Amino acid sequence: MTKLPKKILVTGFEPFDGDQENASGILLEWLKSKSFNFELRTELLPVSFTTAYPLLNKAIEEFNPTHVILTGLAKNRTELTLERIAINWVDARIPDNDGLTLKSQKIKEGSEDGLFTTLPIERMLNAAKGAGCPTKISTTAGEYVCNHLIYLYLSDYRFVAGTFIHIPGATEHEIFFQGISAILSDLA
């Protein structure tokens, strides 16, 4: 069997919550300035419950990736975190960038309570740590737009392997971007 050439879709988010920047959006520019031995597509997504997923969906249909790496900012975390699971629940503390606040409700009625991400995150953990990047596995992506996006993606795309990485809110991004770069290069 011939192996598919590696095609990785990496997404990041626009700034939100009054911030001037979002590390995950900056990541996309950083990645585009590097060269890799795989085909890379990046997609900057709005922090919107309504429009982020349709844009991701369009990018997946157009690019037909072998791997999907969704990223977002987790301001209060100090390590790169690899998300293991998305939950079928949304409870926003702040409005999204469209002014919409979804409170205490299921993302998809009649769908599973939780869905595991579909990339080998233990291997990814080792790759990032090998690059000197403080990294750990997380079992909650929160109850906001990031978890909402992962859940919708996982429920529609069981056979396009992907996961979500939260980037800390530190001002120095380089070590975290290096960790993500090591993860992308190591993906089989």
Which residues contribute to the site for ligand PCA (CB under 6 A)?
A: 13, 16, 22, 24, 47, 72-74, 142, 144-146
Nearer to ligand PCA, 80 or 145 (CB): 145
With CA atoms as reference, report the closest residue to 74 among 117, 121, 136, 157. 136
Choice among 79, 83, 133, 173 that is catalytic: 83
How many alpha carbons lie under 13 Å from residue 83 in its C-beta half-sphere? Answer: 32
How many alpha carbons lie under 13 Å from residue 176 in its C-beta half-sphere? Answer: 25
In three-state secondary structure terms, 35 is coil
Choice among 67, 148, 166, 173 that is catalytic: 166
**Residue linked to tokens 């997923």:** 53
Distance from C-alpha of 94 to C-alpha of 74, rounded to nearest angstrom: 14
Q: How far apart are CB 22 and ligand PCA at their closest, in Å?
A: 5
Q: How far apart are CB 86 and ligand PCA at their closest, in Å?
A: 11
Nearer to ligand PCA, 66 or 145 (CB): 145
In the residue annotation, 173 being an active-site residue is answered as: no
Query: Which residues sit opposite 114 in a β-bridge?
Result: 87
**CA dist 12 to 5, 34, 72, 109, 164, Å?**
23, 17, 6, 27, 10
In the residue annotation, 122 being an active-site residue is answered as: no
Nearer to ligand PCA, 24 or 42 (CB): 24
In the residue annotation, 83 being an active-site residue is answered as: yes
Q: How far apart are CB 77 and ligand PCA at their closest, in Å?
A: 10
Q: How far apart are CB 85 and ligand PCA at their closest, in Å?
A: 14
Nearer to ligand PCA, 60 or 90 (CB): 90
Q: Active-site positions?
A: 83, 146, 166
